[in-house]
Chain A
Amino acid sequence: MGFHLENVSFFYGDKPVIRDLSTDLSPGRFYTIVGPNGSGKTTLLDLISGHSRPHAGTIRYKGEPIDRYSRKDLSREMALVPQNYHINFPFTVEEVVMMGRYPHIPRFSPPAAEDLSRVETVMEQTGIARMADRFISELSGGERQRVVFARALAQGTPVLMLDEATANLDIRHIIRLLNLTVESVRTEHKTVVAVMQDVNLAAMFSDELMFMKDGAVVAHGPVDAVLTSDIIREVFSVSAQVYFEPYTDARQVAYKR
């Protein structure tokens, strides 16, 4: 019922970025895509979110080809936290979070009571309620990222995509936001597809890891099954030891310098 990708390929010019990729993603799971820079992680997110069209192969969401959905329909199904970027216009934090409700509010209508309460709840949960009236253009990179994360949560979609969404955050906020995300996977049966650089964080919070290299999936499965030192060496070309860490309650990687 989630995503079904079959022999998907994507090119930038002549350069293949995704090669003949097939996989399934089911609801109620937290997937994290890991891999070296330029391995096609963000492109894969763009493809399954319908932002880019594959040059070959098919992508289905809930059994329907993804290009059958209108942008409006998709925006009620999936929310995206993009990589950190600069915003030039002084929208207030609250205005930006409210934009997450736009897909649910008719074009010329004011927000309904449900929209307002949802925005308020999400701002409390993500710890940005104190900044509600500050300008997004004046926030630090990490603060901005939390606001954009809150907007995606306010969108209230069954699917949440995180494109290095925690890259600029301090560790306290990373743990807070990812716990929030895991909780929504458990209670609301959300599908989360994340791209992360930090394999240890990915192992702590994800249900499944998908290792990518050169546009292809090298390994995909539950964390305990796929996170091994051999895979780390194959994907990242570094020496590493993988062990179970009781304190984080997850398999963790120690790298050789």
Chain B
Amino acid sequence: MTMFPRNATPIQLLFLSAALFLCVIASTGMGYVHVSFFDTARILLSEFPGMDGFQTDIQELQRVVVTEVRLPRILTSALVGAGLAVCGAVFQGILRNPLADPYTLGVSAGAAFGASIALLFPLGIANVYSVPLLAFLGGAGTLIFVIYLSASGGGISSNNLILSGIIVAAILSAGISFLKYVADEQVSVIIFWLMGSFASRTWADVLLTLGAVCAGFSVFLFYARDLNLMSLGSRTAASLGVETGRTLLVLLITASLVTAICVSVSGIIGFVGLLVPHMMRGFTGPDNRRLLPVALLAGAILLLVADTITRAVLPVEVPIGVLTALIGGPFFCYIFRKRQMARSGF
């Protein structure tokens, strides 16, 4: 009897899709302006062409709040959660470490550095674009440097990648501290950005994240079987027909770009990319062909719920990055300790 029956995956996916759909509708109704569950559903339906009849008796205020304020924020948070979760699964596979996450290679530190520069030298109205753009460039640039640093004649080893990532991230956080020191009165802006937030996201953010996550997810699914073999080591993977060098590079770059885009629209949100794939592996097993879709949906639900809690449930809006770290951190300690106990046979 295996704990992970292969045929359970479609049911898990169906269940998670339904849960995600309900979460989106329920959370859209929650907040300062209350909109009932059915009104929310009607407003959403009426957005599709030929469905105008659904919203005849709904106030304009509610419609605007739902479609222009809440929905972009809710969809962005779900997409970022999905993106971070699948990238986490991919990083854990290629680094052969179930405790790696999308930030292991310093992508977050690079993005934070880029965003800090953009915030320190505000361009007025263009800041809306310069912050995510520089965050993205910082994240992508860090990745390229980390790959360059860890590449040797015989290819790239996962240990070298992790070490290079740690070194580069350490340098960059010193850089960020310096920028904060120089920033003087601007320092609060930087600090708030670094803590992550989905407040005032727009449809442009939704489309950007949607494009990145969809493209990345397709690449990951295409290489999912190769990723299974890579997680057993490159010599094994090569002997089983994987072009290890090319596959590693494609997965590394794709996952880092998706991460950088997620960071650029939301700031730094930790633990989602680490915990979601780690927990979902308990339901799907480590086969990435099953893990990736399940992690995608679970990540979306998790971050959406977390963002809704800070937006509509808590009396004060806690930065989402702080919330995920406050909940995810102790939870991570718990499962990590449990695993150590199981290993040492207590």
Contacts and interface: CB of A to CB of B under 8 A. Distances in A.
Interface of A: 46, 49, 51-52, 70-72, 74-76, 78-80, 82, 85, 87-92, 94-96, 99-100, 102-103, 107, 133, 148, 155
B285 A91 contact: yes
Q: Nearest 9 pairs between A and B by C-beta?
A: A75-B241, A80-B239, A89-B286, A103-B241, A133-B2, A72-B241, A71-B243, A71-B241, A89-B231
A138 B75 CA distance: 40
A70 B238 CA distance: 10
Given A82-B233, A88-B97, A99 B239 contact: no
B34 interface: no
Interface residues on B, range: 20 to 34
Contacts of A90: 281, 285-286
A233 B1 CA distance: 53
Contacts of B2: 92, 94, 133
Interface string B237-266: 011111110000000000000000000000
Nearest to A161: B239
Interface string B216-228: 0000001001001
B239 A49 contact: yes
A104 to B, nearest CB: 9
Contacts of A46: 235
A91 B227 CA distance: 13
Contacts of A76: 241
A99 B97 contact: no
Contacts of A92: 2, 4, 285
A102 B225 contact: yes
B154 interface: yes
A87 B238 CA distance: 16
A76 B225 CA distance: 17
B241 A51 contact: no
A75 B286 contact: no
B225 A91 contact: no
Contacts of B281: 89-90
A77 to B, nearest CB: 10
B229 A99 contact: yes
B42 interface: no
Given A89-B231, A90-B285, A107-B225, A133 B1 contact: yes
Given A75-B239, A88-B98, A52 B285 contact: no
Contact of A80 (B4, B229, B235, B287): B235
A157 to B, nearest CB: 9
B interface SS class = loop
Given A52-B154, A89-B286, A133-B2, A74 B232 contact: no
Contacts of B239: 49, 51, 74-75, 78-80, 82
A148 B241 CA distance: 16
B236 interface: yes
Nearest to A110: B6
A51 B235 contact: yes
A92 B239 CA distance: 20
B335 to A, nearest CB: 14
Contacts of A87: 232
A18 to B, nearest CB: 15
A197 to B, nearest CB: 19
Contacts of A94: 2
Contacts of A88: 96-98, 231
Contacts of B236: 80, 82, 148
Interface centre among B228, B239, B244 (most CB of A within 10 A): B239
Nearest to B234: A51
Interface in B95-114: 96-98
Contacts of B1: 133
A107 B227 CA distance: 12
22 contacts: A51-B239, A71-B238, A72-B241, A74-B239, A75-B239, A75-B241, A80-B235, A80-B236, A82-B236, A87-B232, A88-B98, A88-B231, A89-B232, A89-B281, A90-B285, A91-B287, A92-B2, A99-B228, A99-B229, A99-B232, A102-B229, A102-B241
Given A89-B231, A91-B286, 6 more contacts: A51-B239, A71-B238, A90-B281, A91-B228, A91-B232, A155-B240
Contact of B240 (A89, A91, A103, A107): A103
A88 B225 CA distance: 17
A99 B287 CA distance: 11
A88 B281 CA distance: 12
Contacts of A148: 236
A99 B240 contact: yes
Contacts of A79: 239
B250 to A, nearest CB: 14
Contacts of A133: 1-3
A61 to B, nearest CB: 14
A103 B242 CA distance: 9
Contacts of B231: 88-89
A75 B241 CA distance: 5
A88 B99 CA distance: 10
A133 B3 CA distance: 8
A241 to B, nearest CB: 37
Given A133-B1, A133-B2, A75 B240 contact: yes
A102 B288 CA distance: 14
A82 B286 contact: no
A133 B5 CA distance: 11
